[in-house]
Amino acid sequence: MGGYTQEGHWSSHCLEATAARVYRVVEFDFAALDRKGNHTPWTALIEHWKASGITIADAEAALHPHLSKHMPLACVTSSGGKSLHGWYNASDLPEDDQRGFMERAVALGADRATWVRSQFVRMPDGLRDNGKRQTCFYLNPQNCIRL
């Protein structure tokens, strides 16, 4: 399954290969150091959290109930690594109406990449290539799509 990118190349990772958005997935992936070992904008805050006994996962998890006041939260799943992905039911909202929600999430530190409909995200209870489970930590069936 796939489609053509905006540059005209065949890909399974393109807007043409996706349907209308059903869930708005918000990923928080805070890290004290980037892949090159440099400090991130989150370094000082993460150090403060650690001194207060708060883990990065605790901080990321706390943001999803806050966002759920603005869009129904269906589930929160682990990446199988260090980030949490919140799945918000966006089925009744046009893309333009979701902009404010996503702007709020990004302002809180969410990854901008999931703004794009064709961005790959972690599947609840899925398996990564390395065999790590993408644990679903929270599920609200009332906010899930019913087929």
Does residue 102 register a pLDDT over 90? yes
The whole-angstrom separation of Cα 141 and Cα 11 is 33
* Cα distances (angstroms) measured from residue 49 to each of 26, 36, 42: 21, 22, 10
- CATH assignment at residue 133: 3.30.70
4: in domain: no
Between 19 and 51, the more confident residue is 51
Evaluate whether residue 65 is within a structural domain.
Answer: yes
- Counting the structural domains of the chain, the total is 1
Mean pLDDT of the region 25-48: 94
- Classify residue 127: in a domain, yes or no: yes
Domain assignment present for 15: no
Tell me the mean pLDDT in the region 66-90. Answer: 91
Q: How high is the pLDDT of residue 15?
A: 65
3 in any annotated domain: no
Answer yes or no: is 32 within a domain.
Answer: yes
In the 3-class helix/strand/coil scheme, how is 37-73 assigned residue by residue?
Answer: CCECCCHHHHHHHHHCCCCHHHHHHHHHHHHCCCCCE
Whole-structure pTM over 0.75, yes or no? yes
- Write down the H helix ranges in 1-147: 43-51, 56-67, 95-107
Domain encompassing residue 130: 20-143
Query: 40 in a domain, yes or no?
Result: yes
Q: Is residue 24 part of a domain?
A: yes
